[in-house]
Amino acid sequence: MLGLNERDTGQFGDTPREMDFVTGCALLVKRDVLQRVGLLDDRFFTYYEETEWCVRARRAGFKIVHVPTAKMWHKIPLDARESSPLVHYYMTRNRLLFLRVSRAGLRPWFHTLVGEYLHTLLSWTLLPKWRLKRPLRGVMVRAIVDAGRGQWGKLPAPQESRS
């Protein structure tokens, strides 16, 4: 992703350029585009919703443009950082939803399920350097299972146990 974890020191230039997608925190859209393309798909709840929307917009003939002179700051709460179990869950599950709704071919599915997810689960299980990630294996498996069951949207809040 252009500029991810990178300080803007002018390396992106001043000229707007077409992109496949832009992140939702920096998405500015005209009303007529929303009326033609529709709103973000709430099945995603978080992660991949803007990517899927950009795919729909491009298929409808619109351009997705990055404007380097526009500036924004995106503060990410601690529970939304990369190592958070919720982030792993939504990123894993929603990538599968994205592949489904964007009608991705066999190659992206194979790459995601085998090349990334299976590889990650095996690495976290077998390689000592990834031992700190082992608690996230269950989160990843649950996300894959939930995707297979068609369970989308926001996860329900955990129920407090009553003793």
Top pLDDT among 152 and 76 is at 152
pLDDT band at residue 11 using 50, 70 and 90 as cut-offs: confident
Is 12 part of any domain? Answer: no
Q: Is 49 exposed, middle or buried (0-12, 13-18, 19+ CB in 10 A)?
A: buried
8 Å CB contact between 99 and 44 = no
My answer on whether 101 and 132 are in the same domain is yes
Q: What is the mean pLDDT of the chain?
A: 88
The total domain count for the chain is 2
My answer on whether 136 and 91 are in the same domain is yes
Average confidence (pLDDT) over 98-104: 95
My answer on whether 50 and 92 are in the same domain is no
My answer on whether 69 and 23 are in the same domain is yes
> Of the candidates 75, 92, 107, which is a domain's last residue?
75
Top pLDDT among 132 and 37 is at 37
Is 40 part of any domain? Answer: yes
Is 137 part of any domain? Answer: yes
Is 53 part of any domain? Answer: yes
My answer on whether 144 and 84 are in the same domain is yes
CB-side exposure of 151: number of CA atoms within 13 Å? 13
> Of the candidates 37, 57, 75, which is a domain's last residue?
75
8 Å CB contact between 68 and 13 = yes
* Residues contacting residue 40 through CB under 8 Å, at least 6 positions apart: 24, 49, 50, 52, 53
* Residues contacting residue 22 through CB under 8 Å, at least 6 positions apart: 50, 54, 64, 66
Residue 63 is part of which domain span? 17-75
pLDDT at 55: 96
My answer on whether 66 and 94 are in the same domain is no
Is 27 part of any domain? Answer: yes
> Of the candidates 75, 104, 123, which is a domain's last residue?
75
